[in-house]
Amino acid sequence: MFLKILLISVVLLSLSMAGMMLNILIKKKGKFPEYRVGHNRALRKEGISCVKHDEIRCHNKRLKQSDGCMGC
């Protein structure tokens, strides 16, 4: 039973990987979609930025404030 499920899962994974490969090869400028927020144009258009950069901005604002406020 275990081998049967393992074989089915390997076949399904192989088919899905082949489908993604063909999709990338067939498209004109096919490449993997960008998954990092800072490099994704669609997320930048929505105004979504990287959390790391938000933290750096918040930390810099906190350092410049003299009242000791901990919020951004």
By residue range, what is the domain housing residue 48? 2-27+37-64
- CA-to-CA separations, 52 to 22, 38, 48, 55, 59, in angstroms, rounded: 35, 10, 12, 5, 11
| Number of structural domains found in the chain | 1
User: 9 in a domain, yes or no?
Assistant: yes
Residue 48 lies in a domain: yes
Its pTM stands at 0.42
Give the model confidence (pLDDT) of 3-59 as tens digits.
999 999 999 999 999 998 888 788 777 666 666 777 777 777 888 777 787 788 787
Domain for residue 69, yes or no? no
Does residue 7 belong to any structural domain of this protein?
Answer: yes
55 domain-assigned: yes
Q: Is 71 within the bounds of a domain? A: no
pLDDT at 69 over 60: no
Q: Has residue 68 got a pLDDT over 60? A: no
Q: Cα separation of 59 and 51, whole Å?
A: 12
The predicted structure's pLDDT at residue 11: 97
Assess if residue 56 is contained within a domain.
yes
